[in-house]
Amino acid sequence: MNAVSPELDRRFRDAAAAEGLLDAAFDFVDSPVGPLLVATSARGLCRISYDADPERELEQLARDFGVRVLRSAKPIDPARRELDEYFEGKRHTFDLPIDVARLADFNRRVLRELARVPYGEVVTYGELAARSARPRAARAVGTVMNRNPLPIVLPCHRVVGANGKLVGYAGGLDRKEKLLRLEGAIL
């Protein structure tokens, strides 16, 4: 047989990551809200995508982080472990380094405030805008949530409308509801 064996394939992918040759490594992680495409740069976790179209995602990762994008399981293992623990209800905060360096200042500031919203609690868009020192920017905060590169880990599912309604979620309202239910924020 002249085919590349799964062992050889994995050996190459592991070696590429171990030698620090990748701009971004990615892999798929199974979860109760569907398979997640998870990617990490040299700095930290850089992407979590629902319903990923791999072709488009890889192009985007290459544009954002560099062309050396490769599927490799090992660099994703820490994130896989923490996500598994989260979905089992055993983990309430994530300890992974993250890479949001390429985002605009405002987005980073809003995401930093978002990261402080505790497990099982919700906050409104307006409140999050106020905490980010831009009290009238609720709509802009909505846009930042919509483009959140790291859903679940940066918990945009904990942000709700002024009336307490779930309103939008880039991954779909079903997922938002499921995550909030898991956290006990809704019954």
Partner 1 sequence: MTLPPFERFYEQYREEIFGFLMRRLGSERAEDAFQETFLRALRAYPKLQHGEHLRAWAYTIASRIAIDEHRRPRADADLPELAALDGRPAFAQLEHLADQLPPTERAAVVLRYGYDLDYAEIGAALGSNATAARQAASAGIRRLRQKELS
173 forms part of the interface with partner 1 (CB under 8 A): no
Per the structure block, which two tokens stand in for 170?
Answer: 């880039």
Measured between alpha carbons, how far is 169 from 160 in angstroms, rounded to an integer? 9
Q: SS in 3 state form for 108-138?
A: HHHHHHHHCCCCCCCEEHHHHHHHCCCCCCH
Please say if 46 is a catalytic residue: no
Runs of H (alpha helix) within the chain:
6-18, 54-65, 77-87, 105-115, 125-131, 138-146, 173-182
Q: For residues 50-109, which are near partner 1 according to CB under 8 A?
A: 58-59, 61-62, 66-71
Which segment (9-17, 27-35, 44-52, 166-174) binds partner 1 by CB under 8 A? 9-17
| Minimum distance, C-beta of residue 172 to partner 1, in the bound complex (Å) | 26
Shortest distance in whole angstroms from residue 148 CB to partner 1: 22
Instruction: Spell out a b/e string for 92-107, using b for 16 or more CB atoms within 10 Å of the CB, else e.
Output: eebeeebbbeebeebb
**Which residue in 38, 122, 156, 159 is the catalytic one?**
156
Q: Which is nearer to partner 1, 7 or 95 (CB)?
A: 7
The residues that are catalytic are 156
Q: Give the interface with partner 1 as residue ranges (CB under 8 A).
A: 2-4, 8-9, 11-12, 15-16, 19, 21-23, 58-59, 61-62, 66-71
